[in-house]
Chains A and B, each alone.
Chain A
Amino acid sequence: MTSDADLTAVLGAAPPAAIGALPAETLARLTEQISAAKEHVHGEMDASVQKAIAGVPFAVRGIVRKALLG
C-alpha cells in the first residue's frame, strides 16, 4: 500500500488533499503516530473501565458495569 492509502485506511476516510499530497515519509510517520495513539486510547480506556468497575461503590457497580461494558 502507498503511504496515502495507509493513512486513509487508519483514518477510515481519505485525508484532505493537502495532507494526502505530503511526502510519503511524513504520511508514514503520521499513520504510525495515529495508530499508536489509537492503541494507547484503547489501552487507556480498558484500564479505566476496569478501574471504574472495581472502584465504584458496590451499590452502583451493576449499572456502571452495564454502561461501560454494554
Chain B
Amino acid sequence: MSTVRTTPGLSPQVGRIARLLRLDPTEVQGLEGVDDADLRIFHDQISRTLFADAQQRFARIAGLSKTIPGPLAGILAEKFLPPVMAARTAEMLDPAKARDLIGRVSVKYLAEIALALDPVRSRPVVQKLPPEPIGKVAKELFGRKEYATMAEFVGTVTVEALFAALHAASPHDLLAVVPLLEWNENLDKVIAELPAAQVTQIATALTAEELAELALALDPSRMGPIVSAVPVETVAGIAAALFERGEYAGMARFVGVVTPEMVHAVIVDLPAEDVRAMVAELDPTELAELALKLEPTALGSIVAHVPVDTVGEIAQVLFERGEYAGTAAFVDVATEPMLHAALGVASARDLLAIVPLLEWSPAVDGVVDTLPDATLDGLFAEIANGTDWEAAKGAFERLSSTAQKRLFARFDRLSKANRTKIRNAADAGELGPAAAALMAGTPA
C-alpha cells in the first residue's frame, strides 16, 4: 500500500478518507470547509459501505485465528490478508489473540494495519497490546511521517503504549505531531515524564524558533521539563520568538515554567509594551501564581504593568492561599497605590502574618497608618485571641509609632477577656518594648 500523507493545511480526516478510498488527499476535493466531526462520521460511513458485505467474512477470519496455531496464523495473515482487510479483521479479534499475533507479523505490516485501523472500533483490542511492539510501529510510522494518523490514536492507546510511541519520536517528529494531538491526561503524564536523554535531545536539536513552536503546541505551561534542559540564551530566543509572533498569552505561561536563573533572560529588560501586553493576558489567579515563582527583579518588571485594581485581586488570591512570603515579595515591589490595594484586602490574620515578612519602608508605613479602624480593631482582637505573642511582637514592633498609637488608642474597644489577656502578656514581659510602653500608659 502506498503511503498517504496529509497535505499541509488539509484536515487529517481528509487524509484518512483518502486512504480509505485509495487516493491521494489532493484527489479528495471539496471537503475543506467541513468540520472534523462531520468528516469522521463520513469516514466511518465510507468504511462501513466499503466493507459491509465482508463483515461476516472478517468475523470468520477473526474466528479462524482461534483455530490455526499462532505462528501459522501470523504468516498466513501477512501473506494473504491485505492490511486494510487485516485492520477490519483485527477490530474483531479476541484481544488476547491480538496480543499473541502482534509479535508474529512484521513491523511494516503492523504499520500498514495501524494506518487502516479505526481508532474507536479498535480500542478494545489496541488497549490490550503490549507497549513494546507499539513503540516499534510508532517508529516506523514516524519514519513515514504519518503524523496525522498517529495523532488519531492518542485516545486509543494506553499510557504505557503512549510512552513507548513518543519515546520513538525524534525532536522534529514531536514538533510535527504535537500540534495534531487532542490533549488528554495520558499525554500530560508522558510529556511530564519524558526520559532525560530525550529531553536533552529535544533541547539541543531544536532551534529557539522550533522550541517556541513546540511550546505553543504543547501549551507553554507543559514546557517545564524541556525548558530546564535548554541553555539560557536559547530561552531568551524562545521568548523573543513568542513575542515576535505576538503570542503574549503563550509567553505569560512560558514565564511560569522557566527556572529562576532564566527569568532574567526572559523578562528583565523586555520592552514595556511587550510586558504590558503579556500581563494583560493573565487573570489575577495566574498573576498570583507567577508572583510566587518570580524573583524580585523580574517580579518588579511585571508588577509595574499590573493595574491597581488587579493588584488587590492578586493579593486576595495569595492571602486566601496563605502565601504570605509570596505576598510579601509581591508587596515589596509594588507602588504605594498598589500597596493600599494589596493590604486593603488583608484580614487581621493576614496582616499579622505578613507584617513581619515585609521589607519595611515609609510607603508601607503610609499604608498601615491609613488602615481603617475596623481593620485595626480586628488586628488587635486577632493578637489577643491568637496569644502568639512572638508573632504579635514581630508584627507590632515593625509598625510606625503612629500606627502603634492608633492601635493602642483602641484598646478599650477590645472585649474584657481580650484586654485581660494583653495585660497579662505585658505583665509577663511577653510584649515588645513599644507595646509594653504603650500598655504601661493605657489606663486599666
Contacts and interface: CB of A to CB of B under 8 A. Distances in A.
B22 to A, nearest CB: 6
A19 B42 contact: yes
A10 to B, nearest CB: 6
Interface residues of B, number: 40
A41 B42 CA distance: 18
Interface in B45-71: 45-46, 48-54, 56-57, 60-61, 63-64, 67-68
A17 to B, nearest CB: 8
Given A18-B34, A26-B29, A64-B76, A12 B48 contact: yes
A2 B46 CA distance: 19
Given A15-B45, A67-B64, A45 B80 contact: no
Contact of B30 (A22, A38, A56): A22
Contacts of B79: 52, 55
Contacts of B68: 60, 63-64
Contacts of A68: 57, 60-61
A67 B30 contact: no
Given A33-B28, A60-B72, A48 B81 contact: yes
Contacts of B52: 12
Contact of B42 (A12, A15, A26, A67): A15
B62 to A, nearest CB: 9
Chain A at the B interface: mostly helix, strand, loop or mixed?
A: helix
Given A38-B50, A68-B61, A29 B38 contact: no
A42 B80 CA distance: 15
B22 A19 contact: no
B229 interface: no
Contact of B41 (A12, A16, A36, A42): A16
Contact of B76 (A16, A45, A52, A66): A52
Contacts of A52: 76, 79-81
Interface in B4-30: 20-23, 27-30
Contact of B21 (A18, A37, A64): A37
Contacts of B20: 37
Given A64-B64, A68-B57, A70-B60, A19 B82 contact: no
B35 interface: yes
Interface in A1-59: 10-13, 15-19, 22-23, 25-26, 29-30, 33-34, 36-38, 40-42, 44-45, 48, 51-52, 55-57
Contacts of A64: 64, 68, 76
Nearest to A14: B45
B311 to A, nearest CB: 48
A48 B85 CA distance: 10
A68 B85 CA distance: 12
A69 B343 CA distance: 83
B80 A63 contact: no
A26 to B, nearest CB: 3
B84 interface: yes
Contacts of A12: 45, 48-49, 52
Given A11-B49, A15-B42, A67 B61 contact: yes
Nearest to B21: A37
B120 interface: no
A19 B34 contact: yes
B31 interface: yes
Given A37-B21, A40-B22, A29 B30 contact: yes
Interface of A: 10-13, 15-19, 22-23, 25-26, 29-30, 33-34, 36-38, 40-42, 44-45, 48, 51-52, 55-57, 60, 63-64, 66-68, 70
23 contacts: A12-B49, A15-B41, A16-B34, A19-B34, A22-B30, A22-B34, A26-B29, A33-B28, A34-B21, A37-B20, A37-B21, A38-B50, A40-B22, A41-B54, A45-B57, A52-B76, A52-B80, A56-B76, A56-B80, A57-B72, A64-B68, A67-B63, A70-B57
Interface of B: 20-23, 27-31, 33-35, 38, 41-42, 45-46, 48-54, 56-57, 60-61, 63-64, 67-68, 72, 76, 79-82, 84-85
A-B pairs, 7 with minimum CB distance: A26-B30, A52-B80, A16-B38, A67-B64, A67-B60, A37-B21, A18-B38
